[in-house]
Amino acid sequence: MQKIYNYVIVGAGIAAVSAAQGIRETDRDGSILMIGDERVPAYSRPMLTKTPLRSYELGRTIVAGGDWYREQRIDLLLGTKVLSIDNSSRLVSTSAGSYFYKRLIYATGANAFVPPIKGKDLPEVKVLRRYEDLMEVKRLCVDTGKAVVIGGGVIGLEAAFELTRYGLDVTVLEALPMLMPRFLDEECAKALERAITSFPVHTGVTIEEIGGKGHVEYVKLADGREFPCDLVIMSTGVRADIALAQASGIRCTRSVVINEKCETSAKDIYACGDCAEYGTNWQLWSQALEQGRVAGINAAGGSAVIGPTDSSMIINSPEVSMFSCGDVGKDPKKRYTTETDDNWQPDLFAVNKKFARYFEKRFYADGKLTGAIIIGNLARMQELKEQILGIKPREV
Amino acid sequence: MAFVNDKTFLYNAHLMRVFFEDLKQWQEDCIFYGIPSEISAQEYDDLFKGTDADVYIPMWASACKGHGDILIDRTTYDCIRFYKSYGYEPVYMDGNPADFLGEQLRFLEYLSVCGLKGIGNAGIVIEMFIQQFTLDTVKEFCKALKEQKAVTLTEELELVIQALQGIAAGRPLALATHIGADDFDCWQWEKKPALPVEEPHIVRAAGVNNCGGNCKLEVWVAEGCVLDISADTSIGGIQLRTCPRGRGYRHTFLTAHRLRYPMKRREARGIGKYTRISYEEAAKEIAAKIRETGEKYGPGSRYMLYSTGVCAVARPDHLMKRLLCLDGGYLQHYNSYSSAQANYITPYIYGTERTCNNPQDVMNSKYVILWGHNTAETIIGPFRNYYFAKAKEQGVHFVVIDPRQSESALTFADEWVPIKPGSDCALANAMAFVIFQKNLQDQEFMNRFCVGFDEAHMPEGVPVGESYKSYLFGLQDGVVRDPKWAEQICGVPAETIERLAVEYATAKPASIQPGLGVQRTFIGENSIRAIAALCAMTGNVGIPGGGAGGTVTPNGHYEAQEMFKPENGCTYSTPVFLWSRIIDRWETMTAENDGIKGADKLPCGIKLLFSLASNVLINQHADINDTKRILSDTSKCELIVNSDLFYTPSVRWSDIVLPGASLFETETMPSVWNSDDYVLYSNQCTKPLFGSVFEYEWIKMVAKDMGLYEAFTEGCETRRDWVKRIYEEDLLPHEPELPDFETFTKEGGHMYAGPCEEPVAFSKQIREGVPFNTPSGKIEIFSRQLYDMHRKDISGIPKWFDGPEGPTDYAGLNRYPLQLTGYHTKRRCHSIHDQNQWMEELDPPALWINPRDAVLRSIRSGDLVEVYNDRGTVRIPALVTDRIVRGAVAMSQGGWYTPDEKGVDTRGSINVLTYTYKASPVANGNPQHTNLVEVRKYEAE
């Protein structure tokens, strides 16, 4: 006898949990089923690379404990694959059985993208998207001495810091000519590179292959340079998990297309989080949190629209910190002026001199502050965020 | 799933468990497995039992999980909870904490056996446990093992590494199995039901270091793990809160660098290599040496080195002294390293040491001079800073006189007067001159209560011209001790000296509070006397809001010290500062030159030296390189017995090393400094780590070996028994307000209802005319006793004189033009906490140097510099700041002596540069704040 749920949520990450919260805010009684393919309930994905490897404890980053799901009367299925969504019959088929739904929330998130580099299938080539990935990497690191991180984005750099702290020799390879061109300008990217001293960063490189006889032994560039290593971390972005949506005829581009109410092209199906796109799909925690809530409220018959997104990028490591928020001169239609505070060699008496220094650049267009970048001490971060975004960003 | 629970996994876990648990068994098993095992017991101990001072291999999950090298913390607790939820009771192998790698492997073995017997979801649990604990432990262990410089990795150790990594990574080694699992002991193990786990709860403890701010610790404990320390919120209305040092106690006392087992030196002193022995063996050897030295040389050949690691009742050195007295005695010392000059000389002025007013009295002052007194960093009682701050709020004017603009200066001072180290007597002389010259003295007070200030008030029979006034006005030698004269010596501008004198003399009441920095110089006695003279001259002695100068010891509540010692058969004593001289050349020492009391010469040197909870041997005593020379000759001092918690520099120079128990691992009543208005009890939080014990345990063994057990213990089997006896028989009778012992220990202490009878020192003398306890019955600005000694640098009145390595040692300054002074830093208590990673942030090693001295030497802040003189060299980063007077440099005391291959200290151990060749003239005290050095920028070769 197949069970009927008022709401089925495909996915069990932060967007899903936020959606469940949104539902319960609006509908105290409707039954909720949440289906996740990871073996563990929702946890903080950002903390995977923002925590030292040695002290990482999944339990400390779990978003909601077992009690919460029980109290909210959410049926939680973990380690379960969703096989198909049939919207005409309102049926979801999974590896653990099939379920009817009245409303469905699609929150499958995104998967790590691995470009087709030769050697990418060697056993020591890893991504860092899931908790399991982190444990795999730790197991591989039990002896390994050298790692190459491919991808100099936030996650790639954070991974590099933590692997270095864990005792490995790390090298970061970035294909683009500068680090994080979406969030930094050339001057700030140079400042960031200069600030990173615990591992080398090579930009503008093309990778030819990951080589080795059955195991990772080196990474080779098109220009002939070779980096010996025992572990490769691929940090080359994520792709929205849209396979199920596409198969069931929901309209997708690279992500599931939603409107400001998180409605998809299919009736009674909502989408939110890393898998969904309203305007820009930033694939950020804060966006998933916001969209999840909106999807949940609307699915439950309430009314909500997606608010502005806090799209700021932050790296926070003992060696160097970085903050970038808003439009940092990237709109070709605008004319920008900038202001720079270079406090990299601070004069003042600081208990911890390393943490006093910072390099801050502010971007203005039409007399308004549009964006800002800080490399170093992030004390001014909150203030700048509020000025740029015009709101107090929602806390996780 | 990466983990397959099968026999291969079990064999690996078992084999590795045996490696950590039982070396002999491991070697037998190796034969079966065809593994070549050649590791010797000594090599094994050096790597895994802590017998080599330079080897550290972390083997506990807590130390490997990235929260610092700390033991028995939250990680350990989580590990124990994990064990117990699966019915496993930890066995604490060789005293190791429960998250020891060997124990983890034993647990995995247990799970594996359960799994093979078909019980539960062993595979998943094994994976979870490894992920949470074993992965990181194995990683750090293997990394450290590979990085040990002293060890070449044999095939055997390589195999151990591979096997451990295999277990951790889910790919256990394939082992040839000639013996079946039936032969393993673990096959007898049964799955047990979950065991109850102790919940976190508070145990009331207290600090026992040499800190005046004895604080209450609310220690969160569970399953013998120390999870956290909270500050006091419980007693009365005033809180005894910990400072950062107290909050960081776990990072000091519970680090994985603790000494683990009793050991005996196996190479030359100073090398740091030991062999593990048993307590019985240690006790036997110590007992034999006590008897031998007593018979061969006499009781004076046994010495207890000055120690302040455990400032509490029934402390290790007191217990051992008690035993020595039962066998004829030991060489006693007088003075301390803290307050020798002040405490020795003050009775000559006032007839007592207790000259300090209760801290609250500062509220009654109008004007306060903190003279070389840095209470913000050296906590002189927990209430002092509180009342200083309150007084400041109410508008009391504070002046700080100090070579450094200390944190006290920053916090309290309306004015900082920079002064050259050791020149305080000259400044005080000049201030007295100004007061007399302008007739600002309280003549009536002086006439009634003082002798020696002018010719009309001198004792009988003293020649004319010996009064203080005559000295100040140059009536005897033509030198007028006015501000201009003093300025040349102390560096304080003459106008400032005059102004200070007038301000002090006209503010009524005004309080000069000298700290212990002032007296720890070559001229400490006279500095204190000159300051006391100022207090007496202005009538500020014995009145509320005033101050007598002198010491920092107030008239307070009773301090329990009694150890019920039998008579000491050695009837002479020596200054505490001269122990290394006694070892080196006791035959040359005399009562007159070296302060021996009770004998003209010494009948023998020190042959047996005890260092119990002390780091004086090599670190806190002056002239480290010379002391090393003396200790290197084992025919002089034949045996050094040391008990401590870590491989301190002193431990490395000792022969028998016993691992002690930290404050968390024993119980006692801390000694409250200066008889402050409270008493604390520190309850035991956990059992001693590894094989350590509180010293009483092995001292009892020594007593037993000597046939003195009953006489020594007198029925007190435990330390608690002694503390109870002392509390009931010594403390309670003096302070009847205190509760019974059980209540006292449960509460963690007691706050006295009010200050003692006389919160203002000498109020009885001033109000009621009770005589001072001096020969004249008055305040002796001129002391007949001192005058009659007729010795160089000992004068009837507080005269300035030129002394070795002081500000007027021009010959010395020609070679070493900078004065070096030490200071107490807030990040340590003497040398305690030097290894604490938290505290390093507060005040990392630095040599304070004035910009004008730095620029002449091309030194900028952060540059590595070498500070040196004839006695040695210290390499340390420079801090260029105008918070240090020009012409002087400052380095905090207590940094651990860490010599490189060339003998240059690389940490910042000031006593490489201090001297022992001359003690202070009257007290024979330590002049450790007056030294001459030069500083150069360090150029690496």
Q: Is the pLDDT of residue B383 over 70?
A: yes
**Cβ-Cβ contacts under 8 Å, A139 against chain B:** 2, 135, 168-170
**For B103-108, what is the mean pLDDT?**
97
B298, B387: one domain: no
Please write the tens of the pLDDT for every residue from A3-39: 899 999 999 999 999 999 999 999 999 999 999 999 9
pLDDT at B35: 82
How many angstroms away from the CA of B479 is the closest CA of chain A? Answer: 45
pLDDT at B185: 85
Helices (H), B816-875: 837-842, 851-856
Please write the tens of the pLDDT for every residue from B283-313: 999 999 999 999 999 999 999 999 999 999 9
Boundary residue ending a domain (A216, A234, A252): A234
pLDDT at A310: 83
DSSP readout, B613-674?
A: S--IIIIISS-HHHHHHHHH-TTTS-EEEEEESS--HHHHT-SEEEE---GGGS-B-BPPGG
Please write the tens of the pLDDT for every residue from B212-262: 888 899 999 999 999 999 988 765 666 788 888 998 999 999 999 999 999
- pLDDT-derived band at B556 (thresholds 50, 70, 90) equals confident
**Cβ-Cβ contacts under 8 Å, A141 against chain B:** 139
Q: What is the DSSP letter of B225?
A: E
Show which of residues 35-64 on chain B sit within 8 Å of chain A, judged by CB atoms: 64
B328, B353: one domain: no
In three-state form (DSSP H/G/I as H, E/B as E, the rest C), the secondary structure along B261-320 is CCEEECCCCCCCEEEECCHHHHHHHHHHHHHHHHHHCCHHHEEECCCCCCCECCCHHHHH
- pLDDT-derived band at B648 (thresholds 50, 70, 90) equals very high
Distance (Å, whole) CA B390 – CA B835? 35
B401, B315: one domain: no
Q: Is the pLDDT of residue A1 over 60?
A: no
Would B49 be classed as within a structural domain?
yes
Q: CB contact, 8 Å: B81 with chain A? A: no
Q: Domain range holding A329?
A: 320-389
Would A34 be classed as within a structural domain?
yes
Residue of B nearest to A355 (CA): B841
Would B2 be classed as within a structural domain?
no
CATH of the domain at A245: 3.50.50.60
The residue with greater pLDDT, A144 or B465, is B465
Residues 6+ positions from B455 with CB-CB distance below 8 Å: B464, B465, B467, B469, B470
Distance (Å, whole) CA B30 – CA B19? 10
Give me the number of domains chain A comprises. Answer: 3
- pLDDT-derived band at B560 (thresholds 50, 70, 90) equals confident
Residue of A nearest to B127 (CA): A135
Distance (Å, whole) CA B779 – CA B781? 6
**For B926-938, what is the mean pLDDT?**
97
pLDDT at A371: 95
Give me the number of domains chain B comprises. Answer: 4
Distance (Å, whole) CA B641 – CA B724? 28
**Cβ-Cβ contacts under 8 Å, B138 against chain A:** 142
pLDDT at A349: 59
B698, B773: one domain: no
pLDDT at B212: 83
Q: Is the pLDDT of residue B316 over 60?
A: yes
- pLDDT-derived band at B66 (thresholds 50, 70, 90) equals confident
B102, B113: one domain: yes
How many angstroms away from the CA of A70 is the closest CA of chain B? Answer: 23
A243, A182: one domain: no
Rg (CA), chain A: 22
**For B909-919, what is the mean pLDDT?**
97
Please write the tens of the pLDDT for every residue from A178-187: 999 989 999 9
Query: What is the pTM (predicted TM-score) of this model?
Result: 0.91
Residues 6+ positions from B533 with CB-CB distance below 8 Å: B428, B432, B453, B468, B781, B797, B798
Is-contact B528 B345, C-beta < 8 A?
yes
Q: Is the pLDDT of residue B600 over 60?
A: yes
Enter the tokens of residue A155.
Answer: 């996650």
Percent of chain B with pLDDT over 90: 84
pLDDT at A340: 93
- Return the half-sphere exposure (C-beta side, CA atoms, 13 A cut-off) of residue A181: 8
Please write the tens of the pLDDT for every residue from B190-201: 899 999 999 999
pLDDT at B49: 97
CATH of the domain at A360: 3.30.390
Percent of chain B with pLDDT over 70: 98
How many angstroms away from the CA of B68 is the closest CA of chain A? Answer: 10
Q: Is the pLDDT of residue B6 over 50?
A: yes
CATH of the domain at B127: 1.10.3480.10
Would A314 be classed as within a structural domain?
no
- pLDDT-derived band at B582 (thresholds 50, 70, 90) equals very high
pLDDT at B767: 94
pLDDT at B2: 47
**Cβ-Cβ contacts under 8 Å, A55 against chain B:** 65-67
Would B163 be classed as within a structural domain?
yes
Say yes or no for a CB contact (<8 Å) between B66 and A52.
yes
How many angstroms away from the CA of B883 is the closest CA of chain A? Answer: 12
B457, B399: one domain: yes
**Cβ-Cβ contacts under 8 Å, A351 against chain B:** 841-842
Reported ipTM: the value is 0.83
A131, A37: one domain: no
Distance (Å, whole) CA A74 – CA A24? 10
Q: B936 has which bridge partners?
A: B866
Would B209 be classed as within a structural domain?
no
In terms of Cα–Cα distance, which of B476, B468, B428 is closest to B452?
A: B468
Would A304 be classed as within a structural domain?
no
Quote the mean pLDDT of chain B. Answer: 94
Say yes or no for a CB contact (<8 Å) between B841 and A352.
yes
Q: Is the pLDDT of residue A393 over 60?
A: no
Residues 6+ positions from A259 with CB-CB distance below 8 Å: A278
B591, B740: one domain: yes
Q: Out of A55, A139, A140, name the one closest to residue B65 (CB).
A: A55
Would A307 be classed as within a structural domain?
no
How many angstroms away from the CA of A318 is the closest CA of chain B? Answer: 14
Distance (Å, whole) CA A364 – CA A334? 10
Which of B131, B133, B160, B171 to mutate against chain A (most A CBs within 10 Å)? B131
pLDDT at B758: 79
Say yes or no for a CB contact (<8 Å) between B139 and A351.
no
Distance (Å, whole) CA B907 – CA B900? 10
Distance (Å, whole) CA B823 – CA B516? 10
B636, B700: one domain: yes
A44, A91: one domain: yes
Q: Is the pLDDT of residue A148 over 60?
A: yes
A372, A338: one domain: yes
Residue of B nearest to A134 (CA): B131
B368, B459: one domain: yes
Would B45 be classed as within a structural domain?
yes
Distance (Å, whole) CA B832 – CA B663? 13
B603, B466: one domain: no
Q: Is the pLDDT of residue A348 over 80?
A: no
Residue of B nearest to A52 (CA): B66
CATH of the domain at B624: 3.40.50.740
B325, B457: one domain: no
Residue of A nearest to B141 (CA): A142
CATH of the domain at B931: 2.40.40.20
Contacts across the A-B interface (CB distance below 8 Å): 41
Say yes or no for a CB contact (<8 Å) between B65 and A54.
yes
B285, B267: one domain: yes
Please write the tens of the pLDDT for every residue from B606-620: 999 999 999 999 999
- pLDDT-derived band at A396 (thresholds 50, 70, 90) equals very low
pLDDT at B759: 86
A359, A221: one domain: no
Is-contact B308 B318, C-beta < 8 A?
no
In terms of Cα–Cα distance, which of B245, B247, B277 is closest to B259?
A: B277
Q: Domain range holding B627?
A: 263-338+565-659+688-744
